């Protein structure tokens, strides 16, 4: 019998949290044979709602769920956790400047960095979901210097999955037959969804997406903007932001990181950049990665054409600017 893994979810009383915790408790994130103990953190105004979520977890009688900690105390929440999914954050309200949102969130991530550094289990894996996800993750990394940089990541898997979904719809093929799209850069509208290395499994073998779609105008235009703006389209339709797909993507991200990516398949993760593909070093940038033995590695040697180069640079530039803005908010 496996020892339970402790999984922290911050902002657990929020929309994404509400979709995410039952997935974790069912084994979607860590496997159907892996017991879990959920640590749920939220802020005092959400304490009652958080307790309601805890009651529902009890009522769901999940066999894998070996315990629930629901708290507004960040130290209690972080103590002993092996995986931390950081969903809590200040939402952008109407009329708020980008700098105001940034300022609120980076100070949250600065203080949570210290709590994680001091109280999480050694080798805790961290996934930041709350926006601005890349820059929140960077601040967390900078203010938790004893957590290895490779353990701090941000979510671009939702964008990756959205790209797979769009290709699957366009070609009328199963989404499970599409692979190796790439999301480069920032989890913002400057991200670059790249299909140049993506393939589809067909009855006559693996074929490049470009060869099958035969519509470069769509691939270089509408496909990219649809993926970039999908979040806004969901808000318009649902009057609420995407929660089930964000929660599902968070599970995919951690599962592949911990249990490994299938042979020949890569996924997109926001990771601490070493300057691969001439992306700026020292920001959290989304790259194609493979995972093995609990560690990610950036896929190397992919050809980048001129069209892509510009887009990689543009999103990189935005991340460099966000980093500066974040530091100016903290000083
Ligand atoms: P959600 O659960 O919908 O979203 C949480 C965060 O995830 C937001 O920052 C959101 O950014 C971000 N996000 C990233 N990717 C996506 C995506 N694809 N779709 C939607 N959201 C995405 O927000 P709620 O307001 O429902 O819940 C937030 C919780 O956080 C609340 O329970 C609140 O009490 C808590 N909170 C915690 C704080 C803390 O820990 N100190 C501070 C403030 C709030 P975006 O807003 O840009 O969509």
Write out pLDDT tens, residues 148-175. Answer: 999 999 999 999 999 999 999 999 999 9
Report whether 11 belongs to an annotated binding site.
yes
In angstroms, rounded to a whole number, what is the distance separating the alpha carbons of residues 194 and 223? 10
More confident residue, 329 or 269: 269
pLDDT at 91: 82
In angstroms, rounded to a whole number, what is the distance separating the alpha carbons of residues 188 and 133? 9
Q: Mean pLDDT of all residues in the chain?
A: 96
Q: Give the mean pLDDT of 132-153.
A: 97
Q: Give the mean pLDDT of 53-64.
A: 98
Q: 206 CA to middle of ligand 1, Å?
A: 39
Instruction: Supply 323's token pair.
Output: 């980093």
In angstroms, rounded to a whole number, what is the distance separating the alpha carbons of residues 211 and 64? 44
- Which residue has 């039952």 as its token pair? 22
In the predicted model, is pLDDT for residue 95 greater than 80? no
pLDDT at 309: 98
pLDDT at 244: 98
Nearest to 200 by CA among 184, 211, 214, 190: 211
pLDDT at 101: 87
Instruction: Supply 263's token pair.
Output: 């042979």
Q: 165 CA to middle of ligand 1, Å?
A: 24
* Sign of the dihedral through C-alpha 123, 330, 241, 41: positive
In the predicted model, is pLDDT for residue 96 greater than 90? no
pTM above 0.90, yes or no: yes
C-alpha R_g of the chain: 19
- Is 200 strand, coil or helix? strand
Give pLDDT tens digits for 186-212: 999 999 999 999 999 999 999 999 999
Give pLDDT tens digits for 208-242: 999 999 999 999 999 999 999 999 999 999 999 99
pLDDT at 1: 85
Point out the residues that are catalytic.
187
Region for residue 79 given its phi and psi (left: phi exceeds 0; alpha: psi -120 to 50; beta: otherwise) = beta
Give pLDDT tens digits for 39-50: 999 999 999 999
In this structure, which residue's CA is closest to atom 41 in ligand 1? 108
In the predicted model, is pLDDT for residue 143 greater than 90? yes
Distances (CA, A) of 233 to 130, 175, 186, 240, 296: 19, 20, 19, 10, 31
Confidence of residue 304 (pLDDT cuts 50, 70, 90): very high
Q: Is the CB of 108 under 6 A from ligand 1?
A: yes
In this structure, which residue's CA is closest to atom 11 in ligand 1? 131
pLDDT at 94: 76
Q: Is the CB of 87 under 6 A from ligand 1?
A: yes
Confidence of residue 272 (pLDDT cuts 50, 70, 90): very high
Q: Is the CB of 107 under 6 A from ligand 1?
A: no
- 33, 2 contact by CB (below 8 A): yes
Confidence of residue 125 (pLDDT cuts 50, 70, 90): very high
Confidence of residue 331 (pLDDT cuts 50, 70, 90): confident
Q: 310 CA to middle of ligand 1, Å?
A: 31
Confidence of residue 100 (pLDDT cuts 50, 70, 90): confident
Q: Give the mean pLDDT of 284-303.
A: 98
């Amino acid at each position: 019998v496996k020892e339970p893994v402790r999984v922290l979810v911050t902002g657990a009383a929020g929309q994404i949290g509400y979709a995410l915790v039952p997935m974790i408790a069912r084994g979607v994130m860590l496997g159907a044979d892996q017991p879990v103990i959920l640590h749920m953190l939220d802020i005092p105004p959400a304490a009652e709602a958080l307790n309601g979520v805890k009651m529902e977890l009890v009522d769901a009688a999940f066999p894998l769920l070996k315990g629930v900690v629901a708290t507004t105390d960040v130290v209690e929440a972080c103590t002993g956790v092996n995986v931390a999914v950081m969903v809590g954050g200040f939402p952008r309200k109407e009329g708020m400047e980008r700098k105001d949102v940034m300022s609120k969130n980076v100070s949250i991530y600065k203080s949570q960095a210290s709590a994680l550094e001091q109280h999480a289990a050694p080798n805790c894996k961290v996934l930041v979901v709350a926006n601005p996800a890349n820059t929140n993750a960077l601040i967390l990394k900078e203010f938790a210097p004893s957590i290895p940089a490779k353990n701090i990541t941000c979510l671009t898997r939702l964008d990756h999955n959205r790209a797979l979904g769009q290709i699957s719809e366009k070609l009328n093929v199963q989404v499970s037959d599409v692979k190796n799209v790439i999301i480069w850069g920032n989890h913002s509208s400057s991200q670059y969804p790249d299909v140049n290395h993506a393939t589809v499994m067909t009855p006559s073998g693996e074929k490049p997406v470009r060869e099958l779609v035969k519509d470069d105008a769509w691939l270089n235009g509408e496909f990219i903007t649809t993926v970039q703006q999908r979040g806004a389209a969901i808000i318009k339709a649902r009057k609420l932001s995407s929660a089930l797909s964000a929660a599902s993507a968070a599970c995919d991200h951690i599962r592949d990181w911990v249990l490994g990516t299938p042979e020949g398949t890569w996924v997109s993760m926001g990771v601490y950049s070493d300057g691969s593909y001439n992306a700026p070093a020292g920001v959290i940038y989304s790259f194609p990665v493979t995972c093995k033995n609990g560690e990610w590695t950036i896929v190397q040697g992919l050809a980048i054409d001129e069209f892509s180069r510009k887009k990689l640079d543009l999103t990189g530039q935005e991340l460099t600017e966000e980093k500066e803005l974040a530091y100016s908010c903290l000083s």
